[in-house]
Amino acid sequence: MKIQILGTGCPKCKKLAENAETAAKTLGIEYELVKVTDINEIVQMGAMMTPGLAIDGQLKSSGKLLSPDEITAFLK
């Protein structure tokens, strides 16, 4: 499973990455965490605000810092 964090590296983006790792580890799934920092690529994925979360290339959230529990729901 590919988990993409969309953002330029702001504190919220970093926290979202931490929360995504926590969620994936809690579920015990194999994952690859990718940080997408290129604004053009972020917009191309459909995110108009950061931080954003995409799973396997599909945008799940943008402009919101999700909790590990919220991310777990997307990963199931």
Whether 50 and 42 have beta carbons less than 8 Å apart is answered as yes
Among residues 10, 40, 35, the alpha carbon closest in space to that of 20 is found at 35
Which is the catalytic residue, given 1, 10, 43, 49?
Answer: 10
Q: Is 10 tagged catalytic?
A: yes
Which is the catalytic residue, given 13, 20, 36, 47?
Answer: 13
Q: Is 65 tagged catalytic?
A: no
Instruction: Say how far apart CA 51 and CA 75 lie, in whole Å.
Output: 17
**Residues forming the active site:** 10, 13
